Amino acid sequence: MFASSFWEACFLRIAAVVPAYNEAVRIRSVISAIRDSKATDEIIVVSDGSTDDTYEVAKSEPGVYAVKLTQNVGKGGAMLAGASETDADLLAFFDADLIGLKPHHVRELVEVVANGSADMSIGVFRGGWWLTDLSQRLVPYISGQRVVPRGFFLSVPGLSTARFGVEMAIGKHARACGLRVSTVVLHGVTHTIKEEKLGFWRGLISRGRMYSEILRSMLNGHEP
């Protein structure tokens, strides 16, 4: 567990940013894990044009600053909106549909950047849904769980239009900038799959759209 004197000595401010679309029934546990970790100074939830009560649920949680976007701008745009609401030194991003996230996972992800061991940390799942575990073993950069310096994040090209390709865009920019990146294994953490959220066919279509956005970002030849 972090020593409070360590954080005070570093003078770092850390903001957790949780982009969310229709996650009213799942987001409370994610917020609780972040809040109970005591590793962040702020928790910002961005409801990305949600049609359910995501914004209301987030707003009702102690210590949470909730942002309501009237239109769905995609994950990258929602992350950018959250980052624009803080002047924290570090941003800790978490997906809103995580299952099994515990306070120690949050602390471990934050600590490796806060103590100077790395410039960016990426949390990878283990012990959850096998396909998600496999994809994150093969391409850890697609994970939505990460800690980055705010200044670096805001310099990533195309955030507002990246949608689900945002993690690939961050990864490409990190390599171009020579950031030291550390992966942190999040044992027992996974997320609710789209087929479970939306039903099989709608979920499958949504998954295909997500992968196409990731692929588009991967194939984008633009480098900063």
Q: Are 157 and 95 in contact (CB under 8 A)?
A: no
CA gap 53, 56 in Å, rounded: 5
Q: What is the pLDDT of residue 163?
A: 84
The 3-state DSSP class for residue 60 equals helix
Number of domains in the chain: 1
Residue 52 resides in a domain: yes
CA gap 224, 221 in Å, rounded: 10
Overall pTM > 0.85: no
**Segments of the chain assigned E as strands:** 14-20, 42-48, 64-69, 90-93, 98-99, 120-126, 146-149, 181-187, 190-191
Calculate what percentage of the chain has a pLDDT beyond 90. 67
Q: Are 109 and 172 in contact (CB under 8 A)?
A: no
> Mean pLDDT over residues 12-34, rounded?
97
Q: Which residues contact 51 (CB under 8 A, 6 or more apart)?
A: 22
Task: Indicate the residue type of 36.
Answer: D
Residue 224 resides in a domain: no
CA gap 109, 218 in Å, rounded: 25
96 or 165, higher pLDDT: 96
CA gap 103, 31 in Å, rounded: 10
Q: What is the pLDDT of residue 1?
A: 33
Q: Which residues pair with 182 in a beta bridge?
A: 121
193 or 37, higher pLDDT: 37
218 or 87, higher pLDDT: 87
Residue 205 resides in a domain: yes
Q: What is the pLDDT of residue 142?
A: 76
Tens digits of per-residue pLDDT, 62-109?
A: 999 999 999 999 999 999 999 999 999 999 999 999 999 999 999 999
The 3-state DSSP class for residue 89 equals coil
- Please give the helix or strand (H or E) that residue 173 lies within, else none: helix 166-177
H helices of 54-115, in order, are: 54-60, 75-83, 103-114
Tens digits of per-residue pLDDT, 100-158?
A: 999 999 999 999 999 999 999 999 987 655 555 455 555 556 788 999 999 999 999 99
Residue 28 resides in a domain: yes
Q: What CATH number should be reported for the domain holding residue 141?
A: 3.90.550.10
Confidence of residue 191 (pLDDT cuts 50, 70, 90): confident
End-to-end CA distance of the chain, in Å?
37
Confidence of residue 7 (pLDDT cuts 50, 70, 90): very low
Rg (CA), the chain: 16
Residue 15 resides in a domain: yes
CA gap 82, 21 in Å, rounded: 14
Domain hosting 185: range is: 4-219
